Amino acid sequence: MTEPVVFRWHPAVVTAVEALTPWVKSVRLACDLAKSYRAGQHVDVRLTAEDGYRAQRSYSVASVPDGSGTFELMVEGLPDGEVSGWFSEVAAVGDTVELRGPIGGSFSWDGPDGGPLLLAAGGSGVVPLLAMLRRRAQAYPEIPAALIYSARTRAEAIALAELEARDRAEPGFSLHLTTTREDRARRVDADLVAAAMARLGPPGRVFICGSNRFVGTASDLIVAAGVAPGLIRTERFGA
Ligand X SMILES: Cc1cc2nc3c(=O)[nH]c(=O)nc-3n(C[C@H](O)[C@H](O)[C@H](O)COP(=O)(O)OP(=O)(O)OC[C@H]3O[C@@H](n4cnc5c(N)ncnc54)[C@H](O)[C@@H]3O)c2cc1C
* Interaction site with ligand X (CB under 6 A): 42, 57-60, 74-76, 78, 80-85, 124, 127, 235, 237-239
In the complex, which residue's CB is closest to ligand X? 81
Helices (H), the chain: 82-89, 126-139, 160-169, 190-200, 212-224
Q: Taking the complex as a whole, how short is the minimal distance between the CB of residue 40 and ligand X, in angstroms?
A: 10
Closest CA to 173 of 146, 139, 206, 201: 146
Q: Taking the complex as a whole, how short is the minimal distance between the CB of residue 226 and ligand X, in angstroms?
A: 28
Closer to ligand X by Cβ: residue 81 or 204: 81
Q: How far is CA 12 from CA 44, 67, 84, 222, in A?
A: 12, 16, 16, 38
Q: Taking the complex as a whole, how short is the minimal distance between the CB of residue 53 and ligand X, in angstroms?
A: 13
CB atoms within 10 A of CB 219: 17
Closer to ligand X by Cβ: residue 21 or 174: 21
Closer to ligand X by Cβ: residue 42 or 166: 42
Closer to ligand X by Cβ: residue 207 or 237: 237
Handedness of CA 6, 136, 144, 58 (dihedral sign): positive
Distance of CA 119 to the CA centre of its chain: 10
Dist. CA 129–CA 127, nearest whole Å: 5
Q: Taking the complex as a whole, how short is the minimal distance between the CB of residue 157 and ligand X, in angstroms?
A: 14
Q: How far is CA 197 from CA 120, 135, 190, in A?
A: 12, 21, 10
Q: Taking the complex as a whole, how short is the minimal distance between the CB of residue 104 and ligand X, in angstroms?
A: 6
Closer to ligand X by Cβ: residue 83 or 196: 83
